[in-house]
């Protein structure tokens, strides 16, 4: 493995959700620990599942992994980090200031921006703590999906500059006066990240055109902020030996090889490793230890799998039910890489084809809906909540309204305040709110960012709702975005997952988080199911066998409304292939049009 040769102190794994960053980072940690190195594995993903991989509770503290000598792990919990961060700021003034003042400060620090800043504060500490660095040979970062990671890696530079220009100001960091220590730390973090002798960034991808295109964009964005030492790993490549068994395996192998051969030019000069698809789930030390092996281990069929096929409806059944309502908000949520963008586009296209007005949009910083659609359709409007564009729009609005009567000095102070990275949180939330309002007259289908990022957006929505409720007079009626999300007549949340252990657990955790926010998911979608697709490939059949227990768990433990979407022979890009995901026809797709039978 080229990315494992002469590894520096810091290794970052990043890429689109679902490409295998966690598996690779955990396998790398086990590999280096097996060489006698002391390793710290850190997850910066708000929806981390490192603990699930090692079957051990980790959390927001450095924890020894009991099954791997020399390995410790840490999951940066954004909520816990934010609580500790707020207490560091509010604790010293509690009791010294009036209660209403303290409560106001706590409310100021209750938003998603503070949560993100607190997590990033811990992240920069890991890069700059000389004592901690001395304790470990390597610190490995399993990062959040691409869009969130790029923002995290940009924050040290953004905050370093903001503090330098606003030494007496205030923001979601709290009062900035006296934060010279933080400014120095952020500057040191930027220096460490951009030093190729200390940091190597591993871009993880799958052999898919859309994923490789996104990795190319990520490569350029990270190189632009100084992270030039990059490797590329293409994970989960179907071996050529499997292509001879049936049309599905042959089609998968062909499109993967075409994607690799035609990958963007900016990636071709990067050191490249390819890892073969494994027949088993990469959970547990034994499975992870074999990730870098070329051996074709024959995994046993899962014990206790259902004895007979399970009939599940296709996606068309749910779309028919949605269409009857005439309008509303449909939100696709789930772990990165499960296919939210594709399924959001498929549902939107299917509704538009029924003659219904549809607005398809995304809140994912790394999503590119136009690439998935690859065409246009009557009744279908497509947009993207672009954080940079929305932030600039918000800044200009504030300058025109609040800044119109200010003198030169006041306007300069307002402009400095608007350069705070926290401004993005407000701008994205406002764009999100605008889109939600449209759902009263048409269908709005939203492809959301991967789980952790979406929950941060919902935090902002909840904070706004509490603020409105606190100040509203008792006889005044109001409707906030959160109230619309909580109303099942207005909003249908569809949780997307794969029939694999980790994605299903992640989806179940997301469902509990949503329920705590008063939002009840409407349905689950099991995407890319091999057990619903005909195959004779031994490797694909073994992977299909692992799916059955998870499918049964979804339909019996987690939801009463579920649809199954089979693995497709061709990548679903374009109007016709997307329609085929909803109801296979015209030679597209592999499942039946009435019910999908889960069978080998």
pLDDT tens-digit map of 297-322: 444 444 444 434 467 888 999 999 99
Catalytic position from the list 14, 16, 17, 20 = 20
Catalytic position from the list 14, 17, 45, 459 = 45
Structure tokens at 430: 């406002």
Tell how strand 596-598 and strand 491-498 pair up: unpaired
Q: Order across the sheet with 199-206: list the strands.
A: 63-64, 71-75, 39-43, 138-142, 10-14, 199-206, 230-237, 272-276
Is 72 marked active-site?
no
Is 22 marked active-site?
yes
Catalytic position from the list 14, 16, 21, 63 = 21
Q: What is the pLDDT of residue 301?
A: 42
Is 20 marked active-site?
yes
Q: How confident is the model at residue 433 (pLDDT cuts 50, 70, 90)?
A: confident
Of 501 and 174, more confident: 501
Is 18 marked active-site?
yes
Is 23 marked active-site?
yes
Catalytic position from the list 199, 502, 535, 537 = 502
Is 21 marked active-site?
yes
Can you tell me whether residue 299 is helix, strand or coil? coil
What gap in Å lies between CA 31 and CA 28, rounded to an integer?
5
DSSP E strand boundaries for 197-258: 199-206, 230-237
Comparing C-alpha atoms, which of 271, 262, 267 is closest to residue 220?
267
What gap in Å lies between CA 494 and CA 333, rounded to an integer?
6
CB 386 within 8 A of CB 473: no
Catalytic position from the list 14, 15, 17, 23 = 23
Block residue for tokens 């902002």: 460
Catalytic position from the list 17, 18, 157, 339 = 18
What gap in Å lies between CA 387 and CA 291, rounded to an integer?
36
Within 10 angstroms of residue 411's Cβ, the number of other Cβ atoms is 15
Q: What is the pLDDT of residue 9?
A: 92
In sequence order, which residues have a C-beta less than 8 Å from that of residue 270 and are 6 or more positions away? 203, 219, 230, 231, 232
**H helix count then E strand count, the chain:** 23, 19
The pLDDT mean for the chain works out to 79
Q: How confident is the model at residue 235 (pLDDT cuts 50, 70, 90)?
A: very high
What gap in Å lies between CA 174 and CA 234, rounded to an integer?
42
Of 590 and 275, more confident: 275
CB 418 within 8 A of CB 427: no
Tell how strand 523-529 and strand 230-237 pair up: unpaired
**Is the pLDDT reported for residue 253 higher than 80?**
yes
Q: Mean of the pLDDT values across residues 150-156?
A: 54
Q: How many CA atoms lie within 13 A of 351 on its CB side?
A: 29
Phi, psi of 138 (to 5 degrees): -145, 140
Most confident among 203-217, 398-412, 479-493 (mean pLDDT): 203-217
Question: Can you name the residues that pair with 296 across neighbouring β-strands?
Answer: none
In sequence order, which residues have a C-beta less than 8 Å from that of residue 348 and are 6 or more positions away? 358, 360, 380, 443, 445
Share of the chain above pLDDT 90, in %: 30
Catalytic position from the list 14, 22, 43, 491 = 22
- DSSP of 368-389, one letter per residue? -HHHHH-S--TTEEE----HHH
As a whole number of angstroms, the longest Cα–Cα distance in the chain is 76
Q: What is the pLDDT of residue 263?
A: 95
In sequence order, which residues have a C-beta less than 8 Å from that of residue 556 and are 6 or more positions away? none
User: Chain-centre distance of CA 222, in angstroms?
Assistant: 18
Can you tell me whether residue 562 is helix, strand or coil? strand
Which whole-number Å values give the CA distances from 429 to 81, 136, 318, 344, 463, in the listed order? 22, 40, 29, 20, 11
In sequence order, which residues have a C-beta less than 8 Å from that of residue 407 and are 6 or more positions away? none
**Helix 538-553, helix 247-261: angle, nearest 10:** 100
Q: Mean of the pLDDT values across residues 190-205?
A: 87
User: Chain-centre distance of CA 553, in angstroms?
Assistant: 23
Q: What is the pLDDT of residue 492?
A: 94
pTM value is 0.71
Domains delineated in the chain: 2-289 (3.40.50.300), 310-598 (3.40.50.300)
Tell how strand 272-276 and strand 310-312 pair up: unpaired
pLDDT digits (tens, 9 = 90+) for 126-148: 888 888 889 999 999 887 644 45
CA dihedral for 431, 432, 437, 441, sign (positive or negative): positive
Structure tokens at 387: 């954080």
Of 596 and 53, more confident: 53
Is 502 marked active-site?
yes
């Amino acid at each position: 493995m080229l990315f494992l040769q002469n590894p520096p102190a810091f290794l970052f794994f990043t890429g689109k959700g679902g490409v295998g960053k966690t598996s690779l980072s955990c396998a790398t940690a086990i590999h280096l620990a097996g060489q006698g190195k002391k390793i710290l594995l850190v997850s910066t993903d708000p929806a981390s599942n490192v603990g699930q991989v090692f079957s051990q509770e980790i959390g927001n503290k450095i924890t020894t992994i009991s099954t791997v000598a020399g390995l410790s792990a840490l999951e940066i919990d954004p909520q816990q980090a934010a609580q500790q961060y707020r207490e560091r700021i509010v604790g010293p003034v509690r009791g010294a200031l009036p209660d209403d003042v303290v409560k106001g400060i706590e409310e100021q620090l209750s938003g998603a921006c503070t949560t993100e800043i607190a997590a990033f504060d811990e992240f920069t500490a890991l890069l700059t703590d000389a004592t901690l660095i001395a304790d470990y040979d390597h610190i490995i970062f399993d990062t959040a999906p691409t869009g969130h990671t790029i923002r995290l890696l940009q924050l040290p530079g953004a905050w370093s500059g903001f503090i330098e220009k606003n030494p007496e100001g205030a923001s979601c960091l709290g009062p900035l006066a006296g934060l010279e220590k933080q400014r120095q730390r952020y500057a040191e973090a930027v220096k460490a990240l951009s030093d190729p002798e200390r940091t190597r960034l591993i871009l993880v991808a799958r052999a898919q055109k859309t994923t490789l295109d996104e990795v190319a964009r990520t490569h350029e964005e990270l190189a632009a902020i100084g992270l030039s030492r990059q490797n590329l790993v293409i994970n989960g490549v179907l071996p050529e030996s499997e292509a001879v068994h049936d049309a599905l395996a042959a089609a998968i192998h062909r499109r993967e090889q075409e994607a690799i051969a035609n990958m963007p030019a900016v990636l071709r000069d990067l050191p490249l490793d390819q890892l073969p698809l494994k027949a088993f789930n990469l959970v547990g030390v034994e499975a992870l230890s074999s990730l870098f092996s070329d051996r074709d281990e024959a995994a046993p069929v899962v014990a206790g799998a259902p004895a007979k096929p399970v009939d599940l409806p296709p996606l068309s059944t749910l779309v028919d039910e949605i269409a009857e309502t005439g309008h509303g908000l449909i939100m696709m949520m789930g772990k990165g890489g499960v296919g939210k963008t594709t399924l959001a586009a498929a549902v939107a296209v299917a509704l538009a084809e029924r003659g219904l007005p549809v607005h398809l949009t995304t809140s994912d910083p790394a999503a590119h809906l136009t690439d998935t659609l690859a065409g246009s359709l009557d009744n279908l409007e497509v947009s993207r909540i672009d954080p940079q564009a929305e932030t600039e729009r918000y800044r200009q609005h504030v300058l025109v309204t609040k800044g119109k009567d200010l003198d030169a000095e006041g306007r300069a102070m307002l402009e400095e305040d608007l350069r705070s990275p926290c401004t993005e949180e407000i701008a994205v939330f406002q764009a999100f709110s605008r889109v939600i309002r449209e759902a009263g007259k048409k269908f709005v289908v939203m492809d959301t960012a991967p789980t952790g990022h979406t929950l941060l957006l919902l935090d902002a929505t909840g904070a706004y709702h509490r603020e409105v409720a606190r100040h509203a007079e008792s006889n005044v009626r109001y409707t906030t975005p959160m109230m619309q999300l909580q109303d099942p007549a207005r909003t249908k949340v569809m949780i997307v997952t794969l029939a694999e252990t980790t994605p299903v657990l992640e989806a179940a955790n997301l469902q509990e988080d949503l329920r705590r926010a008063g939002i009840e998911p409407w349905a689950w979608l099991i995407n890319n199911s091999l057990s619903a697709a005909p195959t004779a490939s031994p490797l694909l059949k073994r992977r299909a066998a692992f799916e059955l227990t998870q499918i049964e768990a979804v339909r019996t433990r987690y939801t009463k409304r579920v649809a199954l979407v089979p693995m497709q022979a061709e990548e679903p890009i374009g109007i016709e292939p997307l329609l085929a995901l909803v109801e296979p026809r015209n030679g597209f797709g592999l499942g039946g049009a009435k019910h999908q039978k889960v069978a080998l």
